[in-house]
Structure 1
Amino acid sequence: MNITGNTIFIPGATSGIGLALARALRDKGNTVVVGGRRTELLDELKGEGFGTVRIDTADAADIERAAEDVLRRYPDLNVLVAMAGIMRAEDWTRPEDFLATAETVITTNVLGPIRLIAAFIGHLQAQPDPTIVTVSSGLAFTPLKVTPSYNASKAAIHMLSESIRLQYTKVRVVELVPPSVQTDLMPGQRDNERALPLDDFVAEVMALLESQPDAKEILVERVKFLREAVQRGDYDHVVTVLNATDPHANK
């Protein structure tokens, strides 16, 4: 992926990794359109020079509406970053506790990106240097016991990325695989000393995008402990370490 001269849409970029990545890409000379549900944050970001669009990625009709709006205003759009996602703790011994949460996580994290790709792929296939960036997680490869549906949703995104890459001949598919990063994705995560500082994560991601323009996966060093556990042959050990040290694991 070239990291300059693009027109990029990033739904779910009003905070956290999405916003930090949007700012880094803007600073590299890209036109960046940020999507989100909170209009007050979108208004603030418009003042920073971003294009903005309100979008609820859990709502199929709203994705279609927002896509039409984005493509009408930004016909040169050639990069979609399917960033939006949520992470929730679940107790799978209590169906009354986990079912509604699991359905919400899967709708947002799996159906959201699928619907976004469906809304933009026709346009992207006609653009120069088109790219779809999917966002999975280290937890797609090594599970955190308190977030079963999140783990499963990110494993689905990984395999979806692998699969559509085989079908698209003109559209590059790049999978961003974050580790735990200091954001508000989960309660307490912003202050978790074991999580990677947000600025460090985005700086490493941008360096990897620039130095590896043909990369299929963007793997910062911190995530390789999880991502490569099976290849190294220490998967059971990594699962034990992850769930013994994560502050959410025993809640």
Structure 2
Amino acid sequence: MADHNEIVKKHKKFNGVSYPVLVPNAAGLKNALATGVVEEIAVFGAASDAFSLKNVNSNVEDSLKKLLEVTKIALENNIRVRGYVSVVVGCHYQGEVKPEVVAKVAEKLLEAGCYEVSLGDTIGVGTVKTVSRMLDTVLKSVPADKLAVHFHDTYGQALANVLVSIEKGIRAADSSVAGLGGCPYAKGATGNLATEDLLYFLKGNGFETGVDLDKVVETAKWFNSAAGYDKWSRVGAAISAKKGA
């Protein structure tokens, strides 16, 4: 079998595209550094003790201490760090999550040197009201240009929540092709907001992203074929049907 590091080094990179590696702990960072090609990592915490214990076997406070150490070492090695906060609105195990805890975790990650912190509605329970309340609290201590949002579309609220975020000055939103993704510790949660749906929504509301929607749809088509899936976003399905007509 080919050496993993050699496979990574041969992977073609495109200018202007970031290739972050998800790093859960110091051991993960060590592996990332060993490749010699990682330029950015993503560290993730949570705003719920119950979720954090299930996910990384530490409560919020202890998990944060470990993340700060990983971030410090990464920065010392000239690696950019993006932070993530999970379950920022609600938690499958705990229920409602306090916005003040979300703000605290986001603040600590930025203070540690993360260039941006993504706020994740991991189980997709957020609504305009609850997301707005959470963001209002976080924005009291964290500037909008340092925040991103990460919505799962479990209850079909992701795009509405993106709009609320835009109205509050946030200009970064995570998504995935065909809405792929999910979390093994978030029972019932679907994948991320679909990139195709987000691109169509943003373009229709006057935002230029520089991303080719048709090519994203083609990527979803390729993935379905390669993986034996039949998973489509609403926009992807509509565009594919139109082209096939």
Shorter chain as normaliser: what TM range?
0.3 to 0.5
- Structure number with higher relative contact order (C-alpha < 8 Å, ≥ 6 residues apart): 1
TM superposition score normalised by structure 2: 0.41
